[in-house]
Chain A
Amino acid sequence: MAEILKLAGIDKSYGTGESRTQVLFGVDLAFEEGGFNSIIGASGSGKTTLLNIIGTLDRPDRGEVWIAGTRADNLSRNQLAGLRCSTLGFIFQFHYLLPDFSAFENVMMPHLISGKGADDGARRRARELLELVGIGSQADKLVTRMSGGQQQRAAIARALMNKPRLILADEPTGNLDSDTSDTIYKLFRRINEETKTTFIIITHDRRIAERTDRIIEISDGRIRMDIKR
């Protein structure tokens, strides 16, 4: 399988002078296309920083980030925005949906941002994705009127809208009960198998991590363990 993502010698620090704290130390990682991966680590281990760098939301101080064959760490802000829109899908712990919009409108948003009009094909796909995540009947509800589980499902549907090659999920079930977490995990798995979309899931839930194909453990900004099954 081809590599969808490669990190080489990533360093990242925050703060300046005496308060400067290095969060990542020379991280090297590569992910194959279609993989179902998890990154685990304690709070403050640097896993979210790593995910933000992978997602081009943050820049490394040193090292290279390659996404789908494009070197991302030296692209301009607008080029990065374009890359995120076309290649990456984000799922966050706090879903980060737009509160003034319905679930359907939130799912349509990445398509509209990509500069394509709201054509029938896109509308149909958005409805299908909402069906896929199990909230088809709630499509036209304002997201603020949905439950936490429903909101997270809407966020997953949104992440899938532009058919991204890589989905980055940061504690996607961190805010959900165990039944809903299980359903979300199964949903990820199904999407991974059906669409061959690569998943990188950050979690501190070992039960979720153990069900992925590869577990990477990060501790104090370094990769401590990398198990493939």
Chain B
Amino acid sequence: MLMVAFKIARRFLSANKGQTALIVTGIAVGVAVQVFVGVLITSLQGTLIDRTIGSSSQVTVVPAGDGTAISDWQGIVDAAGKNADIKAVAPAADCSAFLIKSNRTVPILLRGFNLDDANKIYGIYGHIYKGRRPAAPDEVLTGRELNKELGIAAGDKIELFTSNGSRFNMTVVGLYDLKVASLNKQWVLTTLGTSQNVSGLGGNITSVEMQVKDIFKADAVASDLSRALGRSDVKVLNWKDQNAELLSGLQGQSVSSYMIQVFVLASVIIAIASVLAIKVLQKSREIGILKAMGIKDRSAGQIFVYQGLMLGAGGALLGILLAVFLLAGFAMGARNPDGSSLIDIRFDYIFITGSGLVATISAALASAIPARTTTRMSPIEVIRNG
């Protein structure tokens, strides 16, 4: 019986190619919009996160209360290293200072890292556009905006003047561009040892910066780490608490994306249900004939469920292709003036496949309403009315 319902459904669709093509196109446009919006918003969020939170510390251990430095910080690094959710750990020694170059004085933040560790968080090495990495104790990197302001070139000598009155001569061995103007202007990067020496921290540091595997779990990872450390002299911060507005913006974006998707899906379902309701009327004569021949009510209904399923699957497949085509076009067309892509389009195959499946299943469910109508149809009506 299943086979006969499927065969009849297939023929009903193939016999009216124009109508079928129109319905499939309608569903395809709906699915395409849903997939396009979903992928675009997810990609936009991904890009936004990558370019803001992605290249910064997501969990940070800082001194608690009025403390300004962390001693015995190796224990923190070790504890973080044992946490499987943390992917990068970089102890940092920061110190505010003034940079003096050619009689101009600019406030800066001297940031000292184990550069290999910090590279895993900030991607420093990839952002050095001129010169090399600091190696010797008096070598630093300066950022693009600062370089422009003060006319710094690789190999230039600069002077640092700290709040306690000490002066240090440094050599700019490389120029970096972290793509964030405020950081490029403020941060002067050096080795942990150099910064500890300039700031007078000795063996102490000012923070331990970390990146986690799933940035949306940063708060949970932070509290796990805090518990594992069990120290009262430090506190563990996470980006979610520090960027509540960004987070709520992202969540707002997610919610609006879901809303758009739900409404598009709802319109697809309603369209399928109404189209099939009309098809039932169009085919009432055939249903009557089939019933006179002995087709059971259930099988008569299945004819329309199969049609819904085929229309849904065909529309979903075409819609996904259309969405991929649109997204590829968007990725190629929407670019920054420097040629880099405005948004890194991420094809989330699970989301795309899921959208297709949801549309197909919804189409089959939507067809249940017209399918029920067929059970009320009586062959005698057809016979009597010709």
Measured CB to CB, the residues of A under 8 A from B are 52, 55, 57-58, 77-78, 81-86, 88, 90, 92, 94, 96-101, 105, 109-110, 112-115, 117-118, 158, 170
Q: Is B214 an interface residue (CB 8 A)?
A: no
Residues of B within 8 A of A105 (CB): 11
Question: Do residues B293 and A113 form an inter-chain contact, with CB atoms below 8 A?
Answer: yes
Contact of B290 among A52, A92, A113 (CB under 8 A): A113
Looking at A55, A57, A105, A114, the one whose CB has the most chain B CB atoms below 10 A away is: A57
Contact B12 A112 (CB under 8 A): no
The reply to whether A96 and B4 contact each other, CB–CB distance below 8 Å, is no
Interface pair A113/B289, CB less than 8 Å apart: no
Q: In the bound complex, do residue A113 and residue B383 qualify as a contact, i.e. CB atoms below 8 Å apart?
A: no
Closest chain A residue, CB of each to CB of B383? A57
Query: Is the beta-carbon distance between A94 and B4 smaller than 8 angstroms?
Result: no
A residues within 8 A CB of B126? none
Chain B residues contacting A85 (CB-CB under 8 Å) are 293-295
Q: List 26 A-B contacts (CB under 8 A).
A: A52-B380, A55-B292, A57-B292, A57-B380, A57-B383, A77-B297, A78-B296, A78-B298, A81-B291, A81-B294, A81-B297, A83-B294, A84-B292, A86-B294, A88-B294, A90-B293, A96-B285, A96-B292, A98-B289, A100-B15, A101-B11, A109-B293, A112-B3, A113-B4, A113-B299, A158-B293
Q: Is the interface of B mostly helix, strand, loop or mixed?
A: helix
Q: Are A84 and B294 in contact (CB under 8 A)?
A: yes
Distance of A81 Cα from B377 Cα, bound (Å): 13
* Complex CA distance for A109 and B8, rounded to whole angstroms: 9
Render B147-158 as a binary contact track against A, CB cut-off 8 A, 1 for contact: 000000000000
Which of B7, B15, B296, B378 is close to A112, meaning CB atoms less than 8 Å apart? B7
What separation, in Å, do the CA atoms of A94 and B288 have in the docked complex? 13
B1-29 CB mask vs A (1 if < 8 Å, else 0) is 10110011001100100000000000000
Q: Output the nearest chain A residue to B15 by Cβ-Cβ distance.
A: A100
CB atoms of A78 and B297 under 8 A apart: yes
Expressed in whole angstroms, the minimum distance between the Cβ of B310 and any Cβ of chain A is 15
Contact present for B286 and A82 (CB under 8 Å): no
Residue contact A82 to B3, C-beta cutoff 8 Å: no
User: Given that A57-B383, A112-B3, A113-B1 are known contacts, is A96 also in contact with B294, CB under 8 Å in the complex?
Assistant: no
What per-residue 1/0 map shows which CB atoms of B359-386 lie under 8 Å from chain A?
0000000000000000000111011001
CB contacts under 8 Å to A, within B200-234, are none
Name the A residues within 8 Å of B11 (CB-CB). Answer: 100-101, 105
Q: Is the CB of B290 within 8 A of A115?
A: no
With CB as the reference atom, state the residue of chain A lying closest to B295. A113
A100: which B residues are within 8 A, CB to CB? 11-12, 15, 286
B10: min CB distance to chain A, Å = 10
Q: Are B379 and A94 in contact (CB under 8 A)?
A: no
Chain A residues with Cβ below 8 Å from B296 are 78, 81-82
Smallest CB-CB separation from B11: which chain A residue?
A: A100
Question: Which residues does chain B contribute within 8 Å of A81, judged by CB atoms?
Answer: 291, 294-297
Question: 15 new A-B pairs (CB below 8 Å) besides A98-B286, A118-B3?
Answer: A55-B292, A81-B295, A81-B296, A81-B297, A85-B293, A88-B294, A96-B292, A96-B383, A99-B15, A100-B12, A100-B15, A110-B294, A113-B295, A158-B293, A170-B383
* Contact between chains at A94 and B386 (CB < 8 Å): yes
> Max chain A CB contacts within 10 Å: which of B3, B297, B299, B383?
B383
Nearest-neighbour CB distance to chain B for A170, whole angstroms, equals 8
Q: Number of contacts between A and B (CB, 8 Å)? A: 74
A131 shortest CB reach to chain B, Å: 22
The 7 closest A-B CB pairs, nearest first, are A85-B294, A100-B15, A112-B4, A84-B294, A96-B289, A81-B294, A57-B380
- CA gap between A114 and B296 in the complex, in Å: 10
Contact call B297/A115, Cβ cutoff below 8 A: no
Complex contacts, B12 vs chain A, CB 8 Å: 100
CA distance A94 to B8 in the complex (A): 21
Whether A98 touches B292, Cβ cut-off 8 Å, given contacts A113-B4, A117-B3, is no
- Minimum Cβ distance to chain A for residue B122 (Å): 67
Whether A92 contacts B383 in the complex (CB less than 8 A), given A81-B291, A100-B11, A113-B295, comes out as yes
CB distance from A9 to the nearest CB of B (A): 21
- A84 and B3 within 8 A (CB): no
Q: For the complex, give the distance between the alpha carbons of A221 and B383 in Å.
A: 19
Q: What CA separation (Å) do A114 and B290 show in the bound complex? A: 11
- Smallest Cβ-Cβ distance to B285: which chain A residue: A96
Contacts of B298 in A (CB 8 A): 78
Question: Nearest residue in B to A111 (C-beta to C-beta)?
Answer: B4
With A78-B297, A92-B383, A100-B12 as given contacts, are A109 and B292 in contact (CB-CB < 8 Å)?
no
Measured in the bound complex, the distance between the Cα atoms of B384 and A55 in whole Å is 14
Q: Which residue of A lies closest to B378 (CB)?
A: A57
B200 to chain A, nearest CB (A): 90
Complex CA gap A84/B290 in Å reads 11
Is the CB–CB distance between B294 and A115 below 8 Å?
no
Bound Cα distance A52, B385 (Å): 13
Q: With both chains docked as a complex, state the minimum distance between the C-beta of B14 and any C-beta of chain A, in angstroms.
A: 8
Q: Are B379 and A57 in contact (CB under 8 A)?
A: yes
The answer for the CA separation of A97 and B293 in the assembled complex, in Å, is: 11
Q: How far is it, in angstroms, between the C-alpha of A23 and the C-alpha of B286 when the chains are bound?
A: 27
Q: Quick check: A82 and B294 within 8 Å, CB to CB?
A: yes
CA distance A112 to B1 in the complex (A): 7
Closest to A170 in B: B383
Q: Using a CB-CB cutoff of 8 Å, which residues 271-311 of chain B contact chain A?
A: 285-286, 288-299
Measured between C-beta atoms, what is the minimum distance from B3 to chain A in Å?
Answer: 7
Give the CA-CA distance A52 to B291 in the complex, in Å.
Answer: 13
Interface centre among B285, B293, B297 (most CB of A within 10 A): B293
Q: Please report the C-alpha to C-alpha distance between residue A174 and residue B104 in the assembled complex, in whole angstroms.
A: 110
